[in-house]
């Protein structure tokens, strides 16, 4: 009986030991993934314009309460993400953005036209527009419009 108990105890200890090794490996892998993600973020360069000024102009141009703009536009030094509830507010965002992005007025006017046509027809829409060092990624699906603006230089 004593041998059976020792055998069961040994099996349990080996199982626990293997479980701890798996957890350590999982934690090491998670740390490695997090470190790579942080390094990738650090490689992103800042947008070539003052995002705070753009946001201030957007607050003046939009029909929304200025505090609501903060809800719909995520701002960082190297990324802008717009997710307004209405087509008109997203168009306002693109028009304000055009003032900050190089020689882009014609390209953004075309983007707005395509977006409005797709919105009216209920079609999905996706576009990547590269202007100077700025990428404007526009996606429309299920009446939701998401516009992501990032630096074209990624290290």
pLDDT in tens, 83-101: 888 899 999 999 999 999 8
pLDDT mean over 3-24 = 61
Q: What is the pLDDT of residues 35-85, one digit of tens each?
A: 555 445 556 688 888 888 988 999 899 888 877 787 778 878 788 889 888
Pick the more confident residue, 129 or 35: 129
Q: Where are the domains of the chain?
A: 1-43, 51-151
Cα 87 to Cα 120: distance, rounded to the nearest angstrom: 10
If one counts every other C-beta atom within 10 angstroms of the C-beta of residue 101, the result is: 22
pTM of structure = 0.68
Higher-scoring residue by pLDDT: 114, 19? 114
What's the CA gap between 48 and 41, in Å, rounded?
17
* Whole-number Cα distances in Å, 121 to 73, 92, 101, 113: 26, 20, 29, 12
Confidence of residue 112 (pLDDT cuts 50, 70, 90): very high
What's the pLDDT band for 155 if we cut at 50, 70, 90? very low
């Amino acid at each position: 009986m004593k041998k059976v108990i020792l055998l069961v105890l040994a099996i349990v200890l080996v199982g626990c030991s293997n479980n701890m090794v798996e957890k350590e490996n999982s934690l090491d892998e998670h740390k490695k993934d997090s470190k790579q993600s942080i390094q990738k973020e650090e490689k992103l360069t800042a947008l070539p314009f003052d995002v705070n000024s753009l946001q201030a102009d957007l607050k003046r141009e939009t029909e929304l309460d200025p505090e609501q703009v903060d809800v719909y536009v995520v701002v960082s030094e190297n990324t802008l993400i717009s997710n307004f509830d209405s087509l008109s507010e997203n168009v306002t965002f693109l028009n304000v953005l055009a003032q900050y992005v190089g020689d882009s007025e014609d390209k953004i006017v075309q983007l707005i036209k395509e977006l409005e046509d797709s919105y009216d027809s209920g079609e999905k829409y996706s576009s990547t527009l590269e202007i100077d060092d700025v990428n404007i990624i526009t996606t429309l699906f299920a009446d939701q419009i998401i516009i992501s603006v990032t630096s074209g230089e990624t290290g």
